[in-house]
Amino acid sequence: MCVGRRAFAYIKYVQIMKKIAIITARSGSKGLRNKNMLMVDGKPVLAYSIEAALDSGIFDKIILTTDSQEYIDFLSYYPIDFVKRAPHLATDKASSYQVLEDVLLRYSWYDYDYFALLQPTTPMRTAQHCIDVCRAFEERYEDFDFLASVTEASKPTVLTHVIDEDLSMKHWSIDYSNYYRQMYPTEYSANGVFYIAKPEAYLQQKHFYGARSMAYKMDKFVSVDIDTRHDFEYFYFLMQQSKREELLLAQAKREIKLKDACFGLLADVSLLGGSLLALFDHSEYTSLRIQNLAITAALADPYRSLVLQREDLTLAKKVVLDLGRDDLRKGKGSPKEIAHRVEGVLELLLQRDSEIKVCLLECLKGLFRVDYDNTQVQVLNELLQAISQKYERVHWVSLNEHFVDSYGKLSRIYTSDGLNLNTQGYDRLYEILSPILKP
């Protein structure tokens, strides 16, 4: 058996059954060429299914069946079995049943309790998904011969019909004037992530559905199925999003590297924190020496370690701090947790020098942003203002009263993307900060 990192957790909950994972990967694809081998984050799409199966540690064998010797050579470093298909199984007319039958007959299917089909075009499955679905099937092993993963359908069947050549919508026959989705029960469609079957039952029935098949519900997030370039680009985007912390940290380090010369600068004012100050043009303050150590994606904890704890850091006696907004936008905890981290930064600044005074900026609200909830911004600001009042050397700077519209959102006069300030916004910020920054 292939033993993976998660095997112990699986063994703890369910009995051991012999099982194999079969991954099918034909090289020819009319919709998207080489879709199984397109590279994402340093490895082909196909590798995501292989690694999920390996890391789960629950399969006695993992078998890749393909018509491509190139695929086999490319992936030969994985400790799995490879089956080179016969020519008649390499065409787009060969059914999935024929391909699976070929594998089952080669591998003495009667030696296994069941097999799992992992299609490489659904690469969002993880090792934990493999563990969970196999556990679910084994718990109902006496009740079902098959399992198919499903996800909630995007539209009910009452909204899905054929259209004849005359383009008439005659098949839409219900009274849609009174239609609302809640009238109908939730419907599901197969998402292709998992198919499981007892070998003998599958060889007899030749498919995975019916009364003896168990539905396994999965989130839509996992249900990406790559068939077109648009599908692939969506998967690529999701993988980049899953690495956003790593990417943000790398971005922060690059920005800080560019500001190395500023760390030892003797200044009248130090600007610290996030994008609001990082993009602030302070060149008009000709009479002030300004040290700008703000970066465009300043999460409180990394900023503290990468900037504020550097040995070569010298700060002015007056500090302007913009922090908390990026944490909230990136989902780095509740407003209370974020406020606690910001307070930790404040204490670190105040402890550096008994003469340092900090101007803590209110977090600006947003305008119709999916990643920025103004209700949460309001809560965070209330917490931060209360924290500022605990320290004599911390001054709270209200901003939203100058920037929001009559609906309590960042005015479109001052922003182009609903989050960051435009030129007019920064002109307004300059007016607000000028009296604060005066010596």
pLDDT, tens only, 148-195: 999 998 888 888 889 999 999 888 877 777 777 777 788 899 999 999
Name the most confidently modeled range: 201-205, 262-266, 434-438. Answer: 201-205
> Which regions of 188-317 does DSSP assign to beta strands (E)?
188-197, 213-217, 269-273, 290-292
Structure tokens of 173?
Answer: 């026959």
Residue type present at position 188: Y
Nearest to 335 by CA among 365, 390, 280, 375: 375
What are the DSSP E strand ranges found in 198-347? 213-217, 269-273, 290-292, 318-322
Residue 13: per-residue pLDDT: 44
- Per-residue model confidence (pLDDT) at position 10: 44
Q: Up-side HSE of residue 344: CA atoms within 13 Å toward CB? A: 16
Task: Report, in this order, helix, strand and coil percent for the chain, each rounded to 5.
Answer: 40, 15, 45
Torsion of CA 123, 124, 129, 133, to 10 degrees: -60
**What would the 3-class secondary structure string for 339-370 be?**
HHHHHHHHHHHHHHCCCCEEEEECCCCCCCEC
Phi, psi of 351 (to 5 degrees): -80, -20
428 pLDDT higher than 80: yes
Q: What's the CA gap between 313 and 266, in Å, rounded? A: 10
Look-up of token digits 């079957």: 197
Residue 418: the pLDDT is 95
* Predicted pLDDT of residue 338: 96
| pLDDT tens-digit map of 74-130 | 999 999 999 999 888 887 788 999 999 999 999 988 899 999 999 999 999 999 999
Q: Is the model's pLDDT at 2 over the cut of 60? A: no
Question: For residues 227 and 32, what is the distance between their CA atoms, to the nearest angstrom?
Answer: 6
The predicted structure's pLDDT at residue 176: 76
Neighbours of 260 (CB within 10 A): 10
Mean pLDDT of the chain: 90
Residue 67 pLDDT exceeds 70: yes
Average pLDDT over residues 209-223: 94
Question: Percent of the chain, pLDDT > 70?
Answer: 96
Pick the range with the lowest mean pLDDT from 74-83, 247-256, 283-292, 405-414: 283-292
Q: What are the phi and psi torsion angles at 281 (to 5°)? A: -85, 105
Model confidence at 357, pLDDT cuts 50, 70, 90, reads very high
Spatial separation of the C-alpha atoms in residues 197 and 188, rounded to whole Å? 20
**How sure is the predictor about 248, in pLDDT bands with cuts at 50, 70 and 90?**
confident
Query: What average pLDDT score do residues 123-138 get?
Result: 96
Flag whether pLDDT at 3 surpasses 50: no
**Residue 217 near residue 188 (C-beta atoms within 8 A):** yes
pLDDT value at 251 more than 90: no
Q: How far apart are CA 104 and CA 114, in angstroms?
A: 10
Average pLDDT (17-22) is 95
What's the rounded Cα separation, in Å, for the pair 281 and 423? 10
Lowest pLDDT segment from 194-208, 256-270, 399-413: 256-270
Q: pTM (2 decimals)?
A: 0.73
Q: For the residues 284-313, what does the mean pLDDT come to?
A: 88
Rg over CA atoms, the chain: 29
